Amino acid sequence: MNNHLRTLRADRGWSQADLAAALGVSRQTVNALETGRYDPSLPLAFKIARVFEQPIEAIFSDTGA
């Protein structure tokens, strides 16, 4: 699964630690999410969407689709 987390974060001038604090996860988790090597759970995906004020589909895309 691909995502635009890094771009969205950079557009807002947030560090990974800032995003991690907003999401209630560790910075390592944010890094794993951004590299696309860890897919979030549904509740975390919804939280990410709320933080960035974007629909989930605008942030995550399914590579198998």
Measured CA to CA, the distance from residue 5 to residue 36 in angstroms comes to 9
In the complex with another protein, the residue whose CB is nearer, 37 or 53, is 37
Exactly one of 37, 53, 57, 62 binds another protein (CB under 8 A); that residue is 37
Q: Per DSSP, what are the bridge partners of residue 2?
A: 61
Check: CB of residue 2 under 8 Å from CB of residue 36. Answer: yes
Exactly one of 35, 50, 58, 61 binds another protein (CB under 8 A); that residue is 35
Give 45's contacts (C-beta < 8 A, 6+ positions apart). Answer: 56, 59, 60
41 near another protein, judged by CB under 8 A: yes
38 near another protein, judged by CB under 8 A: yes
> By rule CB under 8 A, what count of residues binds another protein?
14
